[in-house]
């Protein structure tokens, strides 16, 4: 009886150790995150960025449609008229203020859908931790100059 239990236990341990020994030969599935990066899916929706045309003009025309589409009211846009001599965007209108509150954003991508000029896109940057609440409000300058620029042009 006692011997039987002993052997059974030893077999279980052997089995468990077998799993361990089996994985000892395999490569790890985790990565050392900040030092190592994992690949990101192309359609990943991370931190927002505002894009430009090739000639340097901003794509955003300040139409406020992203603001209207946003389910959490995370976006705030103030439009203004372009100076005809030094326009910021093609046409008459540009965004004077463009702010995204990351604490409100749920990264649903509706703003991308709404944008008629593909100006606002959700990029691949997901490391958005910060120390002060006000730092979570992205300004237009930050959005136009993302840390990981021009990641994707979505086919859809």
Give min distance, CB of 78 to another protein, in A.
Answer: 8
CB nearer to another protein: pick between 26 and 84: 84
Strand partners, 49: 121
- Sites for another protein among residues 109-138 (CB under 8 A): 116-117
Applying CB under 8 A, does 140 fall inside the site for another protein?
Answer: no
Which distant-in-sequence residues (6+ apart) come within 8 Å of 136 by Cβ?
101, 102, 103, 128, 130
Give 66: exposed, middle or buried? Use CB within 10 Å, 0-12, 13-18, 19+. Answer: buried
CB nearer to another protein: pick between 60 and 143: 60
Question: Is residue 116 within 8 Å of 59, Cβ to Cβ?
Answer: no
Give min distance, CB of 134 to another protein, in A.
Answer: 17
In the complex, which residues of this chain contact another protein (CB under 8 A)?
Answer: 61-65, 67-68, 79-81, 91-93, 116-117
């Amino acid at each position: 009886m006692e011997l039987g239990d002993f052997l059974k236990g030893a077999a279980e341990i052997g089995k468990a150790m077998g799993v361990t020994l089996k994985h000892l030969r395999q490569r790890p599935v985790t990565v050392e995150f900040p030092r190592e990066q994992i690949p990101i899916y192309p359609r990943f929706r991370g931190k927002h960025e505002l894009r430009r045309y090739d000639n340097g003009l901003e794509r955003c025309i300040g139409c406020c449609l992203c603001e209207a589409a946003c389910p959490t009211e995370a976006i705030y846009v103030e439009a203004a008229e372009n100076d005809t001599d030094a326009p910021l965007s093609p046409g008459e209108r540009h965004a004077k203020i463009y702010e995204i509150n990351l604490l409100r954003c749920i990264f649903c991508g509706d703003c991308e859908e709404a944008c008629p000029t593909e100006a606002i896109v959700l990029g691949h940057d997901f490391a958005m931790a910060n120390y002060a609440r006000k730092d979570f409000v992205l300004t237009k300058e930050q959005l136009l100059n993302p840390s990981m620029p021009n990641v994707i042009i979505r086919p859809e």
